[in-house]
Chain A
Amino acid sequence: MKNYFSVFSLAFFICVSPVLANEWSGNVSLEVRKFSEQGISSSQKKQYGSISVQPEWFHDWDDGKQSLTFVPFYRWDQHDDERTYSDIRELSWLKVFDESELRVGFRKVFWGVSESQHLVDIINQSDLVEGIDGEEKLGQPMINYALINDWGTVDLFVLPYFRERTFPGINGRLRSALNVDTNNPIYESDDKEKHVDYAARWSHSLGDWDIGLSYFDGTSRAPSFTTAVDSNGITTLRPVYNLLQQTGLDLQATLDAWLWKVEVVNRKIKGEHYNAATLGFEYSFYGVFDSSSDLGLVLEYLYDDRDKKASTPFEDDVMTGLRLTMNDENDTSMLVGVIADRDDSSRLYSVEASRRIGESYKLTAEARIFEGFTDSANPLYSLRKDDFVELELAYYF
């Protein structure tokens, strides 16, 4: 895949560079992650430094009706080899027609409304070395044709190539007890990563209601695992990528200061059907503490009908969060939350805060605390010693 990328980007530059004026932006960021204690393995460290670069090149012509976007990404990590990597986040061509839009290339697509987890969102693979919330994504090769009608937008996707999930390496933190052998994935499809996936989504806005109905047929982005002994005689986890059919619904009602949110999926994988859902709301208090700050209260219920057999830790959990938006000139904001299991004592606390410094810098702080993960069957059990604080300073150009 890495060679594939570099050939692709080289070809792209040979074709494009001499003809068009370059229009670059992007960011460079410095990151430090500090863990509160020694991890589950002696190969892990307590402090990790990292640098990432994400430039963006954009060019449009034809009165804005056509454009090219190129967003490569590179990260270097002090200790974790799997976190020193590059990706093409985006390399795509867009053509806008009167009642439709065509997009071809590597892209990221987001579906959904909820905050605690993203069930409906399925087009892109999660870039798990970036963060455990799975919100960072790998670029997905696709052809996407959007038909825009009075009765809503229909997006059709052909996804000709599968991207494997990234996992932290043997020296990395926030990983499973056994190392994931990303070089030896197992696919249900004989076409392996070349299996062509299809997806479709209808989305519409009706007054206070925003609705999306989606269907996906292809290789599951989330793998299951099987233990295996690698060529060095070490027991590892081999990711297993099964075929999946997913029907999804996302719905938001925006009623004054209330945002009511629903995400429901029905998944068929390995001959079994199951349902999962996120239901909740966000309510905002405006101008709190006699200031221009807004305080949002987020409450979401996370459900999976496979219960304890679920591959997710969030099968019967409640997320409670507070979002503070200061509306100041530095865009200062903070989200503090906890996801609590209703059946045991496990609690995942998280804090995310950010503010701009001057005109071009942004400081982001993130912390996670894993409390009460004593059940070894919990998928997050291996993270029980991984409480951490992360500071990131990014320069935007």
Chain B
Amino acid sequence: MKGIILLSGLIAFTGAAYAETAEEKGLAIAVEADKRDQGWGDQATVMKMTLRNSQGAESTREIRGKTLEVDGDGDKSLTIFDTPRDVKGTAFLSFTHTLKADEQWLYLPALKRVKRISSSNKSGPFMGSEFAYEDISSQEVAKYKYKFIKEDKYNGRDVFVLEQYPQYKKSGYTKQIAWIDKEMYQPLKIEFYDRKRSLLKTLTQHEYKKHLDKYWRPARLEMVNHQTGKSTTLLWKSYKFKNGFRERDFDRNSLKRAK
């Protein structure tokens, strides 16, 4: 990500000399958002996911996550499932990359088997939810092309409205429209447009809190699928930073002892 920081400096410098295009301004906002969210190191989270079908019937999943920030590439993460009980102990290890394929392993506790799985199913649902794998994987500047649309107000807050176009292979989206809070440089809302260019889902991010006096994290995410009527709520019970995680906490051996 260092290259991107340099690039952002360049844009800020040259920006004064001539009028920015909408694409340049969009990229500059994405770069600034990325820059502000660097240096957090690692985080441990406890989450609860609630899935709702179109009739309103609910099912829940409790998940713990560990993430290690990787300089110059996508993050490494380990996700452990506590409920539903039949998948308790199932663990998912992911090394994300900006443009080349992510590396993913799944640990199946009943068979004690670590399976390398394909990461090309980016648009597939995560744990049967309305979140696709590409929605929850680490967001890197180079994953999209950007276009600034306008400045606006959203829920009484000043926002930038951006369009972002996925540049990685196998995305389920042709376009996303993001409402980025001007103070936090974090999205308040994202609309997802499917391969047929029609509105598929809307994500809203709520209850932002500042951690380590610098990093904004939402405590609640709401994803609504407009085509199926299903929705998913992702609730963070806790965020913990500065855990001292190392690469060793994100190797294939760590999968087998993730309880």
Contact = CB atoms under 8 A, between A and B. Distances in A.
Interface in A84-98: 94, 96, 98
Interface stretch (A8-16, A164-172, A322-330, A375-383): A322-330
Chain B interface category by residue count: 35 or more
B253 interface: yes
A359 B125 contact: no
A287 interface: yes
B85 A327 contact: no
Given A110-B113, A331-B128, A60 B84 contact: no
Interface residues of A, number: 47
The winner among A94, A258, A329, A396 for most chain B CB atoms within 10 A is A329
A96 B257 contact: yes
A396 B116 contact: no
27 contacts: A58-B259, A60-B259, A98-B248, A101-B253, A109-B112, A110-B111, A146-B253, A203-B252, A257-B120, A259-B117, A284-B120, A284-B121, A286-B121, A286-B170, A287-B124, A287-B172, A292-B124, A329-B53, A329-B59, A329-B129, A330-B128, A356-B84, A356-B86, A359-B59, A359-B83, A359-B85, A396-B86
Nearest to A259: B118
Given A153-B252, A286-B120, 5 more contacts: A108-B112, A153-B251, A257-B120, A329-B128, A329-B129
A94 B116 contact: no
Contacts of A397: 85
B191 interface: no
A153 B125 CA distance: 32
A358 B58 CA distance: 9
A394 interface: yes
Interface in B172-222: 172
B88 interface: yes
A113 B117 CA distance: 11
Contact of A252 (B51, B60, B116, B125): B116
B259 A359 contact: no
Given A205-B103, A257-B120, A331-B128, A148 B86 contact: no
Contacts of A356: 84, 86
Given A58-B259, A329-B53, A286 B85 contact: no
Contacts of A99: 248
A286 B116 contact: no
A148 B118 contact: no
B84 A328 contact: no
B117 A328 contact: no
Nearest to B259: A58
Interface in A288-329: 292, 294, 327-329
Given A254-B116, A287-B123, A294-B121, A359 B84 contact: yes
A359 B116 CA distance: 27
Contacts of A207: 103
B61 to A, nearest CB: 9
Contacts of A329: 51, 53, 59, 128-129
A287 B121 CA distance: 9
Contacts of B60: 359
Contacts of A210: 116
B33 to A, nearest CB: 30
Contact of A292 (B51, B87, B125): B125
A286 B86 contact: no
B90 to A, nearest CB: 10
B259 A67 contact: yes
Nearest to A256: B120
A148 B253 contact: yes
Nearest to A203: B252
B5 interface: no
Contacts of B101: 208, 256
A397 B83 CA distance: 10
B125 to A, nearest CB: 5
A205 B124 contact: no
A203 B88 CA distance: 26
The winner among B117, B119, B172, B257 for most chain A CB atoms within 10 A is B257
Report the 6 A-B pairs with minimum CB-CB distance, sorted nearest first: A396-B85, A329-B128, A110-B113, A256-B120, A362-B86, A110-B112
Interface in B50-104: 51, 53, 59-60, 83-88, 101, 103
Contacts of A257: 118, 120-121
A36 B161 CA distance: 65
A360 interface: yes
Contacts of A27: 85-86
A161 B49 CA distance: 44
B124 to A, nearest CB: 6
A286 B253 contact: no
Contacts of A258: 118
Interface string A192-234: 0000000000010101101000000000000000000000000
A20 to B, nearest CB: 15
Contacts of A203: 252
The winner among B53, B83, B252 for most chain A CB atoms within 10 A is B252
A135 B111 CA distance: 8
Nearest to A109: B112
A146 B116 CA distance: 20
B120 A148 contact: no
Contact of A294 (B103, B124, B172): B124
Nearest to B128: A329
B116 A259 contact: yes
The winner among B86, B172, B248, B259 for most chain A CB atoms within 10 A is B86
A252 B119 CA distance: 14
